[in-house]
């Protein structure tokens, strides 16, 4: 294999891998947005209104099959809001999800689905 072919192959591989990383970041961002929006809707339906959009972080470092999300926000009255979620079997077509929303340290919502696709 010539040096030119090796360089071309390495360049294509680098583009492919960086594209995967970009798609993963987009997927992570879309998931965080869905959780933030879903939590806001769930709370609003219960008469709890937030000052702003929840700020969410994700931890998927343990394995591809386990994803954890944690969001924080404040109600308009200034009470702290925490959203925690865990998805097991996340690398399958049927992940198992649990989300808990606490307002001022009290559980307000426990559900298996947050986001626009929930019924």
Cα 106–109–112 angle (5° rounding)?
Answer: 140
In this prediction the pTM is 0.75
pLDDT at 5: 38
Mean pLDDT by 10 residues, the chain (119 residues): 37 39 58 91 95 90 83 98 92 89 97 77
47: left (phi over 0), alpha (psi -120 to 50) or beta: left
Cβ 50 vs Cβ 37: under 8 Å: no
pLDDT at 61: 66
Residue 99 tokens read as: 């989300």
Helix (H) or strand (E) run with residue 72 in it: strand 66-74
């Amino acid at each position: 294999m010539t040096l030119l072919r090796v360089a071309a192959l390495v360049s294509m591989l680098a583009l492919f891998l960086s594209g995967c990383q970009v798609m993963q970041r987009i997927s992570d961002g879309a998931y965080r947005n869905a959780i933030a929006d879903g939590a806001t809707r769930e709370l609003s339906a219960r008469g709890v209104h937030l000052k702003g959009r929840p700020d969410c972080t994700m931890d998927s470092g343990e394995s591809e099959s386990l994803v954890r999300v944690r969001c924080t926000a404040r109600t308009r009255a200034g009470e702290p809001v925490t959203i925690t979620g865990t998805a097991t079997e996340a690398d399958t077509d049927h992940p198992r999800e649990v989300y808990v929303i606490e307002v001022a340290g009290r559980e307000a919502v426990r559900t298996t689905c947050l986001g626009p696709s929930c019924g």
